[in-house]
Structure 1
Amino acid sequence: MRASLPIERSLTAEQTTALGEFRARWAAVRRSTTPADRSAAEQAVRLAYHAAGLERPARIVWCDSPLALAGRVCRASHDDGGNVRSRLVDHVRRRVASLIERRVLRKVLVAVENSVNPADPLVTAVAEAVIRSVPEPSLSMLGHLRCTGLSWSGVLHAIIAPRGFASCAAGPHDLSWLGVYDYLREVLRLHAETEPLCGLMQLASSVGWLQPHARTCWLAERPNLLCGDARDRLHQADGPALRYPDGWSVWAWRGVEVPRWIIERRDQITLAAIDEQMDVQVRRCMIEIMTPECYVALGGATRIAEDETGILWRRNWLAADAWAAVEVINATPEPDGTRRHFFLQVPANLRTAREAVAWTYGMRAEAYAQLVQRT
């Protein structure tokens, strides 16, 4: 009888140290802005199709952005075949996961997953921005019939097949889980079990987005610009936060997608322009870019309350749509003896300046008042 293989029950100190290396490696893969390695990506496509039991695609088509990719796929025909994302990615993943679970305890797998593939808000934000920009459905039922052919099986596939871009394509956020299997392969030496994923690993490391069909695989370049703030939100103060080689771009302020002119022609942000903006989040971004201090000075907000802690300002548009900020004075004087005024944005339902200042410290007004009295 064949001896059973050992089960990994815990990680050694050396293996634990390696978690950080693979975490950094795959964070770099997800956030890469270098041009795609087209040769490596095309080789990886063929390996991945083979591992999924699919014939290698007759055509590999490159696009300069995921938006361009979606546009090309909308014109897919019978010659391109049906979408095979689930077979290429999901089925292979489940097959490999089943093999891995026989060799590694669940608690070890969870520890590796949490360390190597943590949540990545910036990459998630990019994916959401891309998906929002793609018209849905990206491929109609008629489009599926053009790909699969007019037959009973084709009609059935057209009815049940996913048609949205999010379910038919795959981006860096969809493939980040491969970092876990890369670690299991390289560090725990589970080569045989992870072999079917080698093509996908190489593909994820070499390309931006992909949309695989039976006979055509569309690949998209990575962005050549990706900017975020300290909280990993899409953000760039003087230009696009996300840009692809064909010029398709997204402008964002602290995680909120905004029209281009708000970032690049901020001198056109006026009180009237702010009032005319229907999107609440975009409106608040406009005030932040103008600066709350300037907004108040121009008469955009009304003084609601004042006490020894500061001044509470508010602007109401509708019952559930308002903006507020508390104006406070820096306790430390400047070299010339003056004291700087700061405007801190706060929830619009607060009623007093003390309550607003307390909120900025994560405290209730009563607790904050006691703290101030003691100090």
Structure 2
Amino acid sequence: MRAAGVTDAEQVADGVERWRAAATATGAADRAAAEAGVRLAYRRAGLAEPERIVWAGSPREALRLLRDAHDGDCGPEARGRSVRDAVRSTPWAAERSRLHDRLGPQGWTRRWGVTGARLWETTRQLTDRIGAGLVEGVAGDRAEEAAIRLLLLDAVLGQHDAAWLCAFDTGAGSPLDGLAAVARSAGWWWPYERLAVVCERPVELHRDEAGRLDRGDGPALAYPDGFALHAWRGMPVPAAFLDELAALTPERIRDEENAELRRVMLEHYGYDRYLQESGAQPVHRDETGVLWRIPLPDDEDVVMVEVVNSTPEPDGTSRTYWLRVPPATRTAKEGVAWTFGLAAEAYEPLRQT
């Protein structure tokens, strides 16, 4: 029931924000609520509740439990077949079909646009990165990698299913209320006939303004058992690489053979600082500014325009700005014009600010 005075749009927006909070939640899972949700999801699917629910510190630990168990407590015989399709895929498809029939194609598209679409891209990026990190960190050879990928197909994404759950009816009595309860309380989980393995949520999550994993002084994503991912503005980087960033020099940057890591180094160090400290020479100068070019081995040149703000700061000084421009830029004016989406001949500012 909607509270008095609250519009449909406000209610939808509130629901999106609550699911956004669930998707990015860190800290200990609410184990009691999650286990109740698991059991409810099984019942909603017409299945007997799992005989056991086992907790793992991260998806990595869950995969190790399932992969290494063989005939033990979590082995194939002990856990039975995967019931992911019955627990998640079938009710999911039925709810989407129900909404599509009720709202029509355009209505469903509008509903998705104001709900799940707002969370989809960032959660998809995150789950893709976790999946890749699990394959890289756990698999030792091709056969093992194939086994890990098959186990990942059995996973329900818990909190990271927030985008879809946001678009559906997950209230009490809904076919999806059990799945929603787990998603609000825990991380990824694996449902089998007699066993469910449920993961803790991350203890740390650091992202940039675009929603990409991003941290320069530690893991961007970390779980309580030590499983962690390191990234700089969405790009995966080795943990040891981040330790170097505080002590970078122009020489170390030039010596880096990996072009992608070199770009990370340059971003962290600062292109303007690198220009100033690497002995770079200007290649063009005109009334708009100074064009600088830094050749980099096995990579495109770094080209920047140095411009001075014509409006003085309150203290009377003029601030210098560095604008990165395409490698093919040949003049300072061409570079400045490009930042405005113009050709050089069309850039004739009446007054620079």
- TM-score band (shorter)? 0.7 to 0.9
Q: Which deviations, in whole Å up to 9, do the C-alpha atoms of 1:53-102 show, x marking residues without a partner?
A: 33322222211122222222222422222333233211121123333444
Report the TM-score, using the length of structure 2 for normalisation: 0.83
Following the alignment from structure 2 to structure 1, what is the Cα–Cα distance between the partners of residues 225 and 80? 27
Following the alignment from structure 1 to structure 2, what is the Cα–Cα distance between the partners of residues 341 and 261? 34
Match of 1:147 in 2: none
Match of 1:80 in 2: 79
| Higher mean displacement: 67-76 or 38-47 | 67-76
Change (3 A) 1:164 1:323: farther
Q: Which structure 2 residues correspond to residues 1-375 of structure 1 after superposition, within 5 A?
A: 14-76=7-69, 77-78=75-76, 79-120=78-119, 121-135=121-135, 163-164=149-150, 166-171=152-157, 172-182=159-169, 195-299=174-278, 301-318=280-297, 321-335=300-314, 337-367=316-346, 369-372=347-350
* Aligned length in residues: 339
- The percentage of aligned residue pairs carrying the same residue is 35
Following the alignment from structure 2 to structure 1, what is the Cα–Cα distance between the partners of residues 315 and 7? 57
Residue 320 (structure 1) shift = 5.1
The answer (yes or no) to whether the contact 1:73–1:139 under 8 Å persists in 2 is: no
Residue 216 (structure 1) shift = 2.2
SS in 1 for 2:278: coil
Match of 1:4 in 2: none
The answer (yes or no) to whether the contact 2:160–2:183 under 8 Å persists in 1 is: no
Change (3 A) 1:261 1:357: farther
Identify unmatched segments of 5+ residues in structure 2: 1-5, 70-74
Q: Which deviations, in whole Å up to 9, do the C-alpha atoms of 1:219-278 show, x marking residues without a partner?
A: 111112212222222223443322222233333222223333454442322233323334
Change (3 A) 1:138 1:90: farther
Q: Which runs of 4+ in 1 moved over 6 A?
A: 136-143
Following the alignment from structure 1 to structure 2, what is the Cα–Cα distance between the partners of residues 82 and 129? 27
The answer (yes or no) to whether the contact 1:74–1:138 under 8 Å persists in 2 is: no
The answer (yes or no) to whether the contact 2:133–2:229 under 8 Å persists in 1 is: no
Q: Which deviations, in whole Å up to 9, do the C-alpha atoms of 1:94-151 show, x marking residues without a partner?
A: 12333344433333332222112124344333223211211279699989xxxxxxxx
What's the Cα RMSD here?
3.2
Identify unmatched segments of 5+ residues in structure 1: 1-12, 144-157
